[in-house]
Structure 1
Amino acid sequence: MVFSLGPRALAAGTKLAAFDSTGSTNTEAMDRARTGERGPMWFVTTEQTAGRGRRHRPWVAPRGNLASSVLEVLDVTPSVAATLGFAAGVAVEKALRQISVEAAMRAPQSAANDYRLKWPNDVLAGGHKLVGMNLEAEAAPNGQLAVVVGIGTNVVAAPDNMPYPVACLHAMGVSASAEDLFAALSDTWQEMRGIWDSGRGFAEIRRQWLERAAGIGQPVSVDNGVQTISGIFDTIDEAGCMIVATADRRRIPITAGDVHFGSAASTRTARK
């Protein structure tokens, strides 16, 4: 199979660059932005050898997995651009649900899957990490902001020796390919990008994200590199910050950090 855009993305004039293999789709996208590309444009491959996730952690996609990045050049501030990651999360969840239904129609024995969005930028399947996302931005020559949203999905294999549980679609009984998932994702991205509308529609994105969120109302521990904040995951606010309700009745906004839920949160708190 070859990569192709979904009908909605095609109708919107979205561009596509597909690679047999590349170091990083995010790097490909940002390099193109520096030469004047304005997007929207997708950069995709089934084999990524030098990808990076949040906080520059390695994210390698062995052949058969999906590494994808979308470039948008926007007239927004960096703080508004950051909320685009939540639109991406909803788009990914919708695409995964769509291809899971299609796979179940082809093979009725396929297991049902519960996809959840983990703040700030993961998608979980059965509590295991299935998708990682990474948003990068830099000033474009025309004074706008070049924003790249990288999305890595474990389709045929999950990485080994990870410090958290991981999942892949094929092991879950979802027989879709990376190409199948990308076609669906390009269309759900088009939908959610339109709702987001340069941040003006973030209230609706926030509502949809919270409907799909993992860990709402559960114990949570967030390590921001300086301290660990523990409490109950209450909500996300109008800027996308996680709100942690602490035992002393404070409501603390979290802008970034490593998140641990449930028993893992309690264990980490006990060790501090």
Structure 2
Amino acid sequence: MGFTLAPTAASQGFRLEAHDSVGSTNALALERARAGDAGKLWVVSKKQESGRGRRGRVWATPEGNLAATLLVVTEGELRMAATLGFVAGLALADALDAVVPKGRISVALDGASAGRNRFELKWPNDVLASGAKLAGILLESTLLDGNRFAVAVGIGVNVVAHPEDLPYPATSLKALGATCDAETLFLALSDAWSENARLWADGRGLTAIRQRWLERAAGLGGEVAVRIDGDVVRGVFETIDEDCRFVIRESGGRMITVAAGDVHFGAVASAGAQ
């Protein structure tokens, strides 16, 4: 089947632009915004030639994987729009729960995870399964006229294949024994986004989003190391604060709040964060 929106999404005014292959769904969505698109546009593809991850890293999307970007155009605060990444993580985890049969996925993250969820959210922008990266989320923005800006909420999911040459574990739905395809996953994602975005309510519901996110948080309460501009901060993953920043409790009890950085859990907290 081809890509299609869930009835809930269509009824709320979301639109769909589907491709067999693109350079980058994020770049295409931002092009549409600069050309006057009003937002609520999903740009999706099963193959992405030049996708990006955080800090400009390459994120491959071979044939059969899912590359999806939602274009959001708003006059609100850019700081608040940045929390859309947490909305995206929750929506994707909900969608995965809906389409992957129970019992197919187990969760284990270097001993740091309590295994409460089959799909866990790693701060700030990854979805994990069996302790390995299954999906990544990337937000990009551009200024528009009229005091508006556009946010491209990019979601890349390893449906049928995953990279092998990464410095951290990665996996795909196929490798985990699931038979879901990209089209089915997107249908569920467009439905789950509608509900989580309603809860977020342009940032007014961020407290509820934060609580839901913490219920799925990978490594919560476990040993963690965060690399920040070459320095490494170590301690216990305490929580995320009211602005969704990462909070570490050092051995002496001091709390450190992190706005951006690379997070490593468990055994990797000692070796991988160097």
TM-score by length of 2: 0.93
The aligned counterpart of 1:129 is 133
The aligned counterpart of 1:107 is none
The aligned counterpart of 2:114 is none
The aligned counterpart of 2:77 is 77
Aligned equivalents of 2:256 and 2:137: distance in 1? Answer: 24
Aligned equivalents of 1:147 and 1:90: distance in 2? Answer: 18
Q: Please tell me whether the aligned partners of residues 219 and 266 of structure 1 are also in contact (alpha carbons under 8 angstroms).
A: no
Deviation at 1:161, TM superposition (A): 0.5
1:180 aligns with 2:173: no
Q: 2:203 is aligned with what amino acid?
A: G
Q: 1:46 is aligned with what amino acid?
A: K
Aligned equivalents of 1:112 and 1:128: distance in 2? Answer: 11
The aligned counterpart of 2:200 is 196
Q: Please tell me whether the aligned partners of residues 42 and 68 of structure 2 are also in contact (alpha carbons under 8 angstroms).
A: yes
The aligned counterpart of 1:17 is 17
Deviation at 1:124, TM superposition (A): 0.2
Aligned equivalents of 2:38 and 2:256: distance in 1? Answer: 37
Aligned equivalents of 2:105 and 2:164: distance in 1? Answer: 24
1:54-69 equivalences under 5 Å are 54-69=54-69
Q: 1:187 is aligned with what amino acid?
A: D
Deviation at 1:250, TM superposition (A): 1.1
For the residue of structure 2 that corresponds to 1:17, the secondary structure is: strand
Q: Please tell me whether the aligned partners of residues 215 and 233 of structure 1 are also in contact (alpha carbons under 8 angstroms).
A: yes
The aligned counterpart of 2:267 is 263
Aligned equivalents of 1:56 and 1:77: distance in 2? Answer: 24
Q: State the Cα deviation string for residues 189-208 of structure 1 (Å, max 9, x = none).
A: 11111111111000000000
Structure 2: stretches of 5+ with no match in the other structure: 107-117
Aligned equivalents of 2:170 and 2:268: distance in 1? Answer: 15
1:217 aligns with 2:221: yes
Aligned equivalents of 1:78 and 1:39: distance in 2? Answer: 15
1:111 aligns with 2:137: no
**Which of 253, 256, 265 is residue 252 of structure 1 equivalent to?**
256
Aligned equivalents of 2:249 and 2:142: distance in 1? Answer: 33
Higher helix proportion (structure 1 or 2)? 1
**Which of 217, 232, 246 is residue 236 of structure 2 equivalent to?**
232
Deviation at 1:111, TM superposition (A): 1.9
Q: State the Cα deviation string for residues 13-48 of structure 1 (Å, max 9, x = none).
A: 101101110100000000100011111000000000
The aligned counterpart of 1:52 is 52
Aligned equivalents of 2:32 and 2:4: distance in 1? Answer: 19
1:35-50 equivalences under 5 Å are 35-50=35-50
Aligned equivalents of 2:252 and 2:78: distance in 1? Answer: 33
For the residue of structure 2 that corresponds to 1:152, the secondary structure is: strand
**Which of 140, 148, 151 is residue 147 of structure 1 equivalent to?**
151
For the residue of structure 1 that corresponds to 2:3, the secondary structure is: coil
Which of structure 1's runs of 4+ aligned residues deviate more than 4 A? none
Q: State the Cα deviation string for residues 105-130 of structure 1 (Å, max 9, x = none).
A: xxxxx624411000000000010000
TM-score by length of 1: 0.94
Q: 2:79 is aligned with what amino acid?
A: S
Q: State the Cα deviation string for residues 200-223 of structure 1 (Å, max 9, x = none).
A: 000000000000000000011011
> What is the number of residues matched between the two proteins?
263
Tell me: CA distance 1:63–1:78, structure 2 relative to 1, closer, same or farther (3 Å).
same
Q: 1:92 is aligned with what amino acid?
A: L
Structure 1: stretches of 5+ with no match in the other structure: 105-109
The aligned counterpart of 1:207 is 211
Deviation at 1:137, TM superposition (A): 1.4
The aligned counterpart of 2:113 is none
For the residue of structure 2 that corresponds to 1:10, the secondary structure is: helix
Aligned equivalents of 1:153 and 1:233: distance in 2? Answer: 25
Tell me: CA distance 1:157–1:268, structure 2 relative to 1, closer, same or farther (3 Å).
closer
Q: Please tell me whether the aligned partners of residues 5 and 187 of structure 2 are also in contact (alpha carbons under 8 angstroms).
A: yes
For the residue of structure 1 that corresponds to 2:80, the secondary structure is: helix
